[in-house]
A and B are shown apart, each in its own frame.
Chain A
């Protein structure tokens, strides 16, 4: 049997009365990238801290490479936190050397990758954000981890630079590592082999993008008077997303939207939902179920 880099079995974590992670099952297999999506407060960060061994579950079980989290499993994990986890007053080379030493690696693991060499003598705090991010990736990958955990790795990065970072991630997966990545960026979710969507501490959907979106639909309003249509929908409690001069309504069927528009001149049709819209629907219904006793 091949070893599972990361596995959560019915994991629960409570802080006092607040259940941040509720009966979550998750697997990251060798060579695959799993995307973890969720709104703020959905429990993603708590789940990652549980997987890294920084928190202990209140219930259920975490297994890394088939064992409970420990220092020896940590050695096999590469982690890029949201804040990148670099020392601002060290150069990229010094950061890398320090990290390699901590992981018990020799100097060969502290060799700066090509794009970073020209910045070798500048302290990280003075480098552009994109270069800092490349340095953080290099540091996380230097000890050739078997599990790579990335927390919002490309927030604020332009598309070409993002594509380059994903080449690095895909390279690690192709070499056999399991990758777990959280993101708020739905386009990025398409880079993952599988997605897990959390809301209110629970997993509300899992699978590939097409599996998660399924046949979900949204209503699309086309009107010369989009501003008035937006106001009418707002008054009816139907939040609409502006896309150019059309409005997309994820939460209501065309007939309901048509009613809300009253006698306003508009065409209302139905269209396949995007991943973001489906995510929105899933999150809203999870919140509603929590409110009900």
Chain B
């Protein structure tokens, strides 16, 4: 069930309540709860097939959930940048924005001013005549983001705006994202970069359609079960399956409640960050899956 316009005056947030999406026999989203608040940046994190794009399409109104409720503003108050595209390669930079302005019924004078302002912020004001298809990856993504925020949407949904983009363009994209949030939009972005998720106000980690963790980055880290140690070499035996490589060393996760009781006996304890917590959550799920497979044999 979808409720466009719901949420006005009702606590004022956008998101999903117990949303599931099924494509044939595939459960793309499995009872997902998600909340995006005005003036804040929320990040949806996960790997290939996690369900990020499905969730974002529900929020943008591009996909109706199989069950559950989507709280979203009206289509004209939503801005959406889909993954990988979002701009018309055969239109110039200026034409892309003009098309958006018409589609979102922005008065011409407002559109002209707003376009000029955003083009300058994005550093695209010198290339307005260039075809979008001839822009560099970073510039094209910036065009996609300013096109999505042109009409000052209440909810701005950005699907992987920074994937494959170089760090300087990434910083520029974050300036735009921050500007949208500072202007009061609820910003939702999908990303595979955890350092980026760490900057967001709220993080949802998805894995194969289900929530793996959610909250602020600090809350997700605090909720991590077990302890983490660092060693120079991969531990032997069973502990090796709970180890992964990071920054030239091995991190070993011990699921037990007592620090140092298990695998990483030789290592020193380390305080986890968001990347560790998310890796542990994925690892725990992988171990549970392979454990279940072994038992069923």
Question: Within residues 173 to 194 of chain B, which ones have a CB less than 8 A from any CB in chain A?
Answer: 174-175, 177-179, 181-183, 192-194
Q: Which A residues touch B171, using CB under 8 A?
A: 239, 241, 280
Q: Are B164 and A242 in contact (CB under 8 A)?
A: no
Q: Are A152 and B164 in contact (CB under 8 A)?
A: yes
Instruction: Specify which of B47, B165, B167 is in contact with A276 (CB 8 Å cutoff).
Output: B167
**How far does the alpha carbon of A160 sit from the alpha carbon of B49 in the complex, in Å?**
14
Instruction: Specify which of B167, B199, B245 is in contact with A184 (CB 8 Å cutoff).
Output: B167
> Does A215 sit at the interface, judged by CB under 8 A?
no
**Nearest-CB distance from B205 to chain A (Å)?**
9
Q: Are A191 and B48 in contact (CB under 8 A)?
A: no
Q: Which B residues touch A164, using CB under 8 A?
A: 244
Q: Are A184 and B278 in contact (CB under 8 A)?
A: no
Instruction: Specify which of B181, B192, B200 is in contact with A156 (CB 8 Å cutoff).
Output: B192
> Does B247 sit at the interface, judged by CB under 8 A?
yes
> Does B195 sit at the interface, judged by CB under 8 A?
yes
Q: Which A residues touch B199, using CB under 8 A?
A: 241-244
> Does B283 sit at the interface, judged by CB under 8 A?
yes
**Nearest-CB distance from A15 to chain B (Å)?**
16
> Does A245 sit at the interface, judged by CB under 8 A?
yes
Q: Which A residues touch B217, using CB under 8 A?
A: 244
Q: Which B residues touch A156, using CB under 8 A?
A: 48, 160, 163-164, 192
Q: Tally A residues with Cβ within 8 Å of B.
A: 46
**How far does the alpha carbon of A276 sit from the alpha carbon of B170 in the complex, in Å?**
11
> Does B138 sit at the interface, judged by CB under 8 A?
yes
Q: Are B192 and A158 in contact (CB under 8 A)?
A: yes
**Nearest-CB distance from B200 to chain A (Å)?**
8
Q: Are B248 and A191 in contact (CB under 8 A)?
A: yes
> Does A101 sit at the interface, judged by CB under 8 A?
no
Q: Are A190 and B48 in contact (CB under 8 A)?
A: no
> Does A65 sit at the interface, judged by CB under 8 A?
no
Q: Are A130 and B245 in contact (CB under 8 A)?
A: no
Q: Are A184 and B166 in contact (CB under 8 A)?
A: yes
> Does B10 sit at the interface, judged by CB under 8 A?
no
Q: Are B244 and A163 in contact (CB under 8 A)?
A: yes
Q: Are A163 and B248 in contact (CB under 8 A)?
A: no
Interface size class of B (residues with CB under 8 A): 35 or more
**How far does the alpha carbon of A129 sit from the alpha carbon of B168 in the complex, in Å?**
26
Question: Within residues 207 to 248 of chain A, which ones have a CB less than 8 A from any CB in chain B?
Answer: 226-228, 230-231, 234, 239-245
> Does A41 sit at the interface, judged by CB under 8 A?
yes
> Does B286 sit at the interface, judged by CB under 8 A?
yes
> Does A90 sit at the interface, judged by CB under 8 A?
no
**How far does the alpha carbon of A109 sit from the alpha carbon of B259 in the complex, in Å?**
44
**How far does the alpha carbon of A243 sit from the alpha carbon of B198 in the complex, in Å?**
7
**How far does the alpha carbon of A37 sit from the alpha carbon of B50 in the complex, in Å?**
29
**How far does the alpha carbon of A187 sit from the alpha carbon of B275 in the complex, in Å?**
10
**How far does the alpha carbon of A129 sit from the alpha carbon of B192 in the complex, in Å?**
13
> Does A166 sit at the interface, judged by CB under 8 A?
yes
Q: Which of B168, B169, B275, B283 counts the most chain A CB atoms within 10 A?
A: B168
Q: Which A residues touch B225, using CB under 8 A?
A: none
**Nearest-CB distance from B44 to chain A (Å)?**
12
**Nearest-CB distance from A134 to chain B (Å)?**
11
Given contacts A156-B164, A157-B48, A244-B217, 16 further A-B contacts (CB under 8 A): A39-B166, A40-B137, A128-B48, A156-B192, A158-B46, A160-B279, A163-B246, A184-B164, A190-B247, A191-B248, A226-B182, A227-B39, A227-B182, A228-B182, A242-B177, A244-B199
29 A-B residue pairings within 8 Å (CB atoms): A38-B166, A152-B164, A155-B163, A156-B163, A156-B164, A157-B192, A159-B194, A159-B275, A160-B283, A160-B286, A164-B244, A170-B248, A184-B167, A187-B195, A187-B247, A187-B275, A190-B248, A226-B182, A227-B39, A227-B181, A239-B171, A239-B175, A241-B178, A241-B199, A242-B178, A244-B216, A244-B217, A279-B167, A283-B168
Binding site for B on A (CB under 8 A): 37-42, 128-130, 152, 155-161, 163-164, 166-167, 170, 184-187, 190-191, 193, 226-228, 230-231, 234, 239-245, 276, 279-280, 283
Closest 9 CB pairs of A and B: A158-B47, A227-B182, A190-B247, A163-B244, A39-B168, A160-B282, A242-B178, A39-B166, A40-B166
